A = this chain, B = another copy of it.
Amino acid sequence: MHWRDGYIAVDWGTTNRRAWHVAPDGQIVAQFDDDIGIMAVPPGRFEQAAAEVRTRLGDLPMLLGGMVGSNRGWREAPYASAPAGMETVAKNILWIESGRTGIVPGISQQGISQQGAAGADVMRGEEVQVFGAIAAGLMAPDGLVCHPGTHAKWIRIAQRQITMFRTMMTGELFALLSRHSILAAQLEADVTAGEAFHAGVDEALAGGDVLSGLFRIRARHLLGEEKRSGEGASYASGLLIGCDVRVGLTLGDARHVTLIGRPDLCALYAAAIARAGRETSMVDGAQAFLAGMHQLVETL
């Protein structure tokens, strides 16, 4: 059994898990995804959870990326420090079983200054996608990446290295507001990149603040100023993503942003980034992840 005879790549996140059997030439032989994220695995049961992956996909070497390497995961894979490239990450793979089961480390950024662009920050999983997107020629080796999500990340890339990044609690904040806030009823509708979304984005890009912008959703509702029912969700999403984009764009002077992640979220970010006068291209997150894992395996 050797990596060059094929392997299993797993993107093991907080709430989901996605696994592929990859042939030596990089082609996908088989795959599955389920909701066995790390939060669904009791402490001490990760070995069994990983064995189940082999039962389904074959008794092959296995490389794991994502939150499985966090302090809530199987075992903590210490972060590599930014700036970091593919080689640094490969060298720091945490071997659960040498040469057979490894966890890709995340990347950390030490807090140079709380106010500076390079404050304390961490990522786990996105680095694999970034290196994969570059290796597969899906993005240039220099530039600015935006990775939307619960904790959205803006990542500056120079000479194939992750040099600086910033995480924004955009997705989590929207979810909290939708579920638990006084705005919950106004945020039930699906978010679409229409008039209300663009109004929120434009307000944020012009320097509008989240704290008062959000309350305005309630005020407009109480005063009957909504143009149409359900506009609150799109406006709130636009306001939050607009703030996210305004800050994220300060990480680089790029005219172009590469979006990596879920297509629906990437489309919303693309709409917001367009309002800021920048161009975007989109890279499928799973494709980038697989390309990154394949590159890492090549170094083994």
Q: Is A187 an interface residue (CB 8 A)?
A: no
A203 interface hit (Cβ, 8 Å): yes
Rounded to whole Å, the gap between the CB of A7 and the closest CB of chain B is 29
Question: In the complex, which residues 187-227 of chain A have their Cβ closer than 8 Å to any Cβ of chain B?
Answer: 199, 202-203, 206, 208-212, 214-216, 218-220, 222-223, 225
> Is A167 within 8 A of B215, CB to CB?
yes
Q: Is A43 an interface residue (CB 8 A)?
A: no
A216 to B115, CA, bound (A): 11
Any B CB within 8 A of the CB of A110: yes
Asked if B212 and A247 make an inter-chain contact with CB atoms under 8 angstroms apart, the answer reads: yes
Q: Does A176 contact B (CB under 8 A)?
A: yes
What is the total number of copies of this protein in its complex?
Answer: 2
| A115: B residues at CB distance < 8 A | 202-203, 206, 208
Q: A-side interface residues toward B, CB under 8 Å?
A: 71, 79, 108-111, 114-115, 119-122, 151, 166-170, 172-173, 176-177, 179-182, 199, 202-203, 206, 208-212, 214-216, 218-220, 222-223, 225, 240, 243-244, 246-247
List, sorted by A's number, 25 A–B pairs whose CB atoms are closer than 8 Å.
A108-B219, A108-B223, A110-B223, A111-B219, A111-B220, A111-B223, A111-B225, A114-B216, A115-B203, A115-B208, A119-B219, A120-B216, A120-B220, A121-B216, A121-B219, A122-B219, A151-B215, A167-B212, A172-B181, A176-B181, A179-B180, A209-B246, A210-B243, A211-B244, A212-B247
